[in-house]
Structure 1
Amino acid sequence: MSVVNMPIEYLVPHPQNPRKDLGNLEELTASIKENGIYQNLTVIPVNEAVPGEEPKYMVVIGHRRLEAAKRAGLQEVPCAIVRGMSETRQLQTMLLENMQRSDLTVYEQAQGFQQLLDFGMDIEDISQQSGFSKRTIRRRLEIAKLDQNKLKELSSTRHLSLKEFDELAKIKNMEARNEVMEKIGTNDFALAVKRAMDKEKLADNMPVFLADMERLGIKKFPDSANKYSSKYRRIGSLDLYEYEVTKDKIPKKTEGLYYEASYPRNVEFYVKETKKAKIIKKSAKELEKEKRIKEAWFKVDAMAATHYELRKAFVENLRGTAKQREAVYMGAYSLIVLRSIAYMSCGDISKEAGVDDKYFDPRRDEKAVKLAYESYDNTQQCIEVIYKLFNDNEKEFYANGYRAGYPEYKFNPRLEAMYHWLTKLGYQMSSEEKLIAAGTHEIFQQNIFEGGNK
């Protein structure tokens, strides 16, 4: 391979160059005009052996440099002539060079890596020749599995991060993944991913649960029976999303036991009431209302648990920085106000600070005082401790606790302060969370459960 200064008129762009848009060339043109070209172009001969014709060479590497050199007024550019390069190798080389660009969108990166695979390279080859880690390449190839038309459209209208695509890849089913992709780049994305993953958990756990029910002789609640009547008594429940963890909650005595798993994540167990108690007769309308009320509270519980898991995951994945110190102070201030004015109980500070002394007293415990001073400049640790002191849990919600009636909106000072603080740290509330916090979510509209239209 020889490097020669070649007249610009001898050079032609490669017709299959994957980079159709050369981007902004002003800075590169100015640099070439002042300093010349430091890095040679790579070209292949087109008609070297044809006598009497002006020689032509096709550019494989250096399309931007060639165009900038033309604009800078150069007559010649340094070129390395490569002979015997196959068409496949030409395309691989152009793609590998293209993948080094810093301005590529995630869509373009995914397309590029997939094309390299299509041209016969494997992940090991791509990694060695491009400099990208195998993990990075695999991540981009997951993106290439998505609906490319939809991905291209979203890439042109939204700012999409690789972190979001990593979250999207946690969804196993491609149809569900493409559906959730509609929310990428919006505040509803994290919630959509969580719901899709929960649905897959349910699909995985349900067959195992049903097999256990058959093995234990626990029957499904008869369709003809009404578990909301006083003839049956609820004696336990478990979480189907976390079945492996919660299956020990299956009642030990299984004789005459029924299960009901008609709601996402919740399974309830019932037995026939054996006590000689007065049977309260209820009309079909009353029983139907009780059923609707209970269904509404099931939805409340499911949303509360899901939103808690989103908040918890955000804090666990957050990397606190010095710039967030002001937001950290705001969280501590909120706790002080809530504890003093709203009579909110906070977590045991001795436990959260890692002090196990049963008789902990911050005025006397030197270990705790020392820890407080050492942790003061650790923003991440401050965030984690403050979050734990908020006592966040899966039951926190903006609803009254009276479960004999439909859920009604009730202001929750703990949640309000916590959301305000977390959003300052970068948390994005979903549309559902915002509606609930404002009291305008349909769960608070009693008439929908009564079939009204008001």
Structure 2
Amino acid sequence: MPELQYIEVSKIFPHPDNPRKNLGDIQELSDSIKANGVLQNLTVVPMSNGQYTVVIGHRRLAAAKKAGLSVVPCVAMEMTPQEQVRTMLMENIQRSDLTVYEQAQGFQMMLDMGETVESIAKDCGFSQSTVRRRVRLLELDADKFKKSEARGATLQDYAQLEKIETPELKNKALDAIGTANFRDVLKKAIEEEKNLRRMAQWETDLEAFALKIEKRDCVGSTAVPMDYVTNYGIWSPKDKMVERPEDAGEVRYYYLVGTNGIDLYKDHQERGETEEERQRKEKDRARNRVKAELREITERHYSLRVEFVSDFSAAKKHLVEICKYAVGAIVGDGEYGRDEINAELTGELLDLGIDDNTDYPAFTAMVEECADEHPEYALLVCAYASVDADDNGYWDERWNTDKREYEIVHEPNSELDRLYNFLVSLGYEMSDEEKAMRDGTHQLLSRRDA
């Protein structure tokens, strides 16, 4: 068994592969060592030049040097590089001293030295899936990750990133971790990834009969008059597919890839369309795109609210706020009060297992049974489900008499304002985009020419 020995601090050096990069504030430990000495020995590995490398006790070594000690108690042990990394990793994990990113770096070092995910999981007490998820975090931008840790990001936050496959979109969501925008940005990134896959499939299908171009009315450097046919974009119906035109063998088709969509064109056909008609159609297309984007935003913000209510577990604590809001939801704004509730949403939030065959009396009985078991939460759900919907937003389309055309405008929504105020009182955090929609400052609501 190795014996305790006192070694000069000038001969002991920090381990270059120590997973813990930041030793934290050592002033208090240094003061204690100055008063009482080093009460727990360091574990070191001898080097060929008569010097030593710390394996256990990096903070104690730094604090001892700061306290002015010339020697410290040590146990010198022979270890392979793999054993050294494993020992340091285990020591820091047991003390909960490592950040998530430092854990990931430690696991990767062990993998690089020949360990397997299975052996690391067994040694460190983590599941194999946790080890794999940690290592995948190293694909993210290191600076962004460290900033997210400083913002107080949780393991659950990082686990949410697994819903995204694209590194660029993961890093975009990583920028928002630890802020009120994270849930919104995460959902947006998930949708963007789905749209990228749709775009890739559309382009593959278009390649079968159309030529890719870089600019409308141009094939390379040659001017070619073209007519707009259709568009495939983030605003398109989820089930929209490319259909080969019947005249594709007779008329040449072209497609232009943009940031959020693909425009399909074909050789210009003489139809006698006026410039005014063409501009009107362009405005209609632009307005429809904005409407589709606003619908997507409105539905996404609705899903954020639903998730918050679904995960809410402090109904008893907020009973007064819930009762006050429920009264308003039941009474409503108008003379006749409110007589409807979203049964599908209520069933989802209360986990009732209802379907299209469930009649209203059965639905009512199931809600009442839930109210017996969890009255505060049942009241919250019923109040919420009576006012919110996936089209509950802050915009509308109106006819502009002077311009003689429809335009998209910001639409104040006092009922949604009250709902947000209520949810915020329960702990909900509005994202910047939600606030911009509410205030009418969102960029899509400022496009008065759409």
Amino acid paired to 2:104: A
* Structure 2 counterpart of 1:338: 332
Amino acid paired to 1:190: R
> Separation in 2 of the partners of 1:337 and 1:406?
33
> Separation in 1 of the partners of 2:293 and 2:161?
25
Amino acid paired to 1:175: E
My pick for the range that moved more, 8-17 or 412-421, is 8-17
Deviation at 1:438, TM superposition (A): 0.8
Change (3 A) 1:238 1:128: closer
> Separation in 2 of the partners of 1:315 and 1:264?
34
Q: Are 1:436 and 2:430 counterparts?
A: no
Unaligned runs of 5+ residues in structure 1 are 216-222, 229-236, 268-278, 450-454
2:89 is aligned, of 77, 80, 95, to 95
Amino acid paired to 1:437: R
* Structure 2 counterpart of 1:232: none
2:394 is aligned, of 398, 411, 417, to 398
Change (3 A) 1:207 1:28: same
Tell me the C-alpha RMSD between the 2 structures.
Answer: 5.1
Amino acid paired to 2:387: F
Deviation at 1:144, TM superposition (A): 1.0
Amino acid paired to 2:373: E
> Separation in 2 of the partners of 1:86 and 1:281?
79
1:389 is aligned, of 386, 391, 395, to 386
Once the two structures are aligned, what percentage of the paired residues are identical? 31
Deviations 1:33-58 (A, max 9, x none): 67984x653233457xx9xxxx8654
Deviation at 1:436, TM superposition (A): 1.2
**1:44, 1:82 within 8 Å by CA — same for their partners in 2?**
yes
Deviations 1:102-135 (A, max 9, x none): 3433333333332332233222222222223323
Change (3 A) 1:318 1:240: farther
**1:142, 1:169 within 8 Å by CA — same for their partners in 2?**
no
> Separation in 1 of the partners of 2:425 and 2:98?
30
* Structure 2 counterpart of 1:151: 145
* Structure 1 counterpart of 2:309: 315
2:195 is aligned, of 196, 202, 205, to 202
Matches within 5 A, 1:30-429: 30=32, 37=39, 40-46=41-47, 58-66=53-61, 79-83=74-78, 85-156=79-150, 158-206=151-199, 242-243=238-239, 283-320=277-314, 322-338=316-332, 343=337, 346-347=340-341, 352=346, 358=359, 360=361, 369-376=368-375, 379=377, 382-393=379-390, 395-402=391-398, 405-429=406-430
> Separation in 2 of the partners of 1:120 and 1:399?
58
Deviation at 1:448, TM superposition (A): 4.3
Q: Any idea what SS the aligned residue of 2:396 has?
A: coil
What TM-score comes out, normalization by structure 2 length? Answer: 0.70
Change (3 A) 1:281 1:30: closer
Change (3 A) 1:316 1:261: farther
Q: Any idea what SS the aligned residue of 1:407 has?
A: strand
Change (3 A) 1:117 1:326: farther
Change (3 A) 1:212 1:286: closer
**2:298, 2:393 within 8 Å by CA — same for their partners in 1?**
yes
Change (3 A) 1:69 1:129: farther
Change (3 A) 1:422 1:99: same
Question: What is the aligned length?
Answer: 411
